[in-house]
């Protein structure tokens, strides 16, 4: 006998929490359609696509994965779709220019660890992993012509970033139009009930809804989520901007980066990046507003909850103790990572080799900002010489002890 699903109202409260649609009409439509499908008391087919354009996933990518996990917990069928074909085109979402084209080899290399990173959040046993090259590679020219016949150029120019580029005379390649169409074909191929994406993906998700209806399927429900801001509290989380929290970062790094977010982002991070239920987040928000919960205490719990998702509760508690001792009480940790050097070595070379900076340019930027200290004193020059026995601090929570090679 098939077990009945959770009550409809309970599912709706959790699954719609933290969503963002841009206008009330779209929200009402998606709420109505989602409720109707849940009332059928069957597992829904739910998916979200991730293009392997970079090797590492960030906490921003974890937002839609968190929503996928909520669907899993209610017994729905979840597909983690790796866009190894669409990544060859590149989605222009949120960009003012065409994304550089990747090779198949680059895409495959980037995709190698995606599932391992994703299964920190998703239930491995309940997740179907799919690659859209499996069906998109097989499309012929006639298939693509049939697909393009469902859309108009005017539709695409109404998309904000396309419209802006058109008005400015910036080139728009036909391949960029095809991205949304191929993502729509993914939804059609998977016979999707629900597709999840960021709020900047709404155009693509709605295009999938349109294709399904045109080709005889019931149009999918689109669930879109706000874009998680970076640690600066303003810009979209991005590795290129340096405001990201990587899913593979150490517990101490992850905890410390969460603690660096501005107070204004606390509730947003609780809503989008933790497993807390909406009622718990609402209670925290009320306590913050009333002043009965200090922002510092709220952020400590937030950092611990996020770190626990990826590293487990014991590691998260240890990261909290590390933060409180090294940052709040300004104690130098007795244990820290070590890096071997031979004789006097430029600071730039050490930080890049130890993975504390991505490039010599980043080291110079960090030194200029006063974010690097050697033996407790701020580094005066990026190329200052350091040697075995020196202890280096980068930012507020990263330490390095140099030892003789």
Domains of the chain: 8-225 (3.40.50.620), 251-328 (1.10.240.10), 338-404 (3.10.290.10)
Cα–Cα distance, 290 to 329 (Å, whole number): 28
Cα–Cα distance, 34 to 36 (Å, whole number): 5
Judged against a pLDDT cut of 80, whether residue 240 lies above it is answered with no
DSSP string, 218-258: PPPEEEEEPPPB-TTSSSBP-TTTT---BTTS-HHHHHHHH
Return the H-helix or E-strand segment holding 213. helix 202-214
Predicted structure pTM score:
0.73
Determine the pLDDT at residue 1.
36
Determine the pLDDT at residue 102.
75
Judged against a pLDDT cut of 90, whether residue 224 lies above it is answered with yes
Determine the pLDDT at residue 222.
97
**Nearest CA among 129, 95, 93, 91 for reference residue 111:** 129
Tell me the pLDDT of the chain averaged across its residues: 88
Q: What mean pLDDT is predicted for residues 127-140? A: 95
Query: What is the pLDDT confidence band of residue 313, given thresholds at 50, 70 and 90?
Result: very high
For residue range 243-291, list pLDDT tens digits in order: 889 888 899 989 999 998 999 999 989 988 998 988 899 999 999 999 9
| Eight-state DSSP code of residue 58 | B
């Amino acid at each position: 006998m098939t077990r009945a699903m959770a009550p409809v109202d309970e599912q709706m409260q959790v699954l719609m929490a933290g969503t963002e649609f841009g206008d009330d009409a779209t929200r009402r439509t998606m709420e109505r359609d989602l409720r109707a499908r849940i009332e059928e008391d069957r597992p829904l087919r739910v998916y979200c696509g991730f293009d392997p354009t970079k090797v590492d996933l960030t906490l921003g990518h974890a937002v839609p994965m968190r929503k996928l996990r909520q669907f899993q917990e209610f017994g729905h069928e979840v597909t983690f779709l790796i866009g190894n074909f669409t990544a060859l085109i590149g989605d222009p979402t949120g960009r003012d220019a065409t994304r550089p084209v990747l090779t198949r080899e680059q895409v495959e290399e980037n995709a190698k660890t995606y599932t391992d990173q994703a299964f920190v959040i998703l239930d491995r046993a309940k997740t179907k992993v799919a690659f859209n090259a499996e069906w998109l590679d097989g499309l012929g020219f006639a298939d693509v012509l049939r697909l393009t016949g469902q859309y108009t150029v005017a539709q695409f120019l109404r998309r904000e970033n396309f419209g802006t580029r058109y008005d400015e005379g910036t080139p728009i390649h036909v391949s960029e139009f095809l991205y949304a169409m191929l993502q729509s074909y993914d939804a059609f191929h998977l016979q999707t009930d629900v597709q999840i994406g960021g709020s900047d993906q709404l155009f693509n998700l709605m295009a999938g809804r349109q294709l399904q209806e045109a080709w005889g399927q019931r149009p999918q429900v689109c669930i879109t989520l706000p874009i998680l801001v970076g640690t600066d509290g303003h810009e979209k989380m991005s590795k290129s901007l340096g405001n990201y929290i990587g899913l593979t970062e150490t517990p101490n790094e992850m905890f410390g980066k969460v603690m660096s977010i501005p107070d204004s982002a606390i509730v947003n991070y609780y809503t989008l990046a933790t497993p807390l239920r909406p009622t718990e987040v609402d209670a925290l928000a009320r306590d913050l507003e009333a002043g009965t919960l200090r922002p510092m205490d709220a952020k400590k719990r937030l950092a611990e909850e996020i770190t626990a998702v990826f590293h487990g509760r014991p590691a998260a508690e240890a990261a909290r103790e590390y933060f409180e001792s090294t940052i709040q009480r300004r104690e130098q940790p007795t244990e820290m990572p070590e890096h071997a050097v031979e004789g006097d070595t430029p600071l730039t070379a050490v930080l890049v080799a130890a993975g504390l900076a991505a490039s010599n340019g980043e080291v110079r930027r960090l030194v200029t900002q006063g974010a690097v200290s050697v033996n407790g004193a701020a580094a005066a020059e990026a190329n200052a010489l350091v040697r075995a026995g020196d202890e280096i601090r980068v930012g507020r929570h990263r330490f390095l002890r140099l030892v003789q090679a």
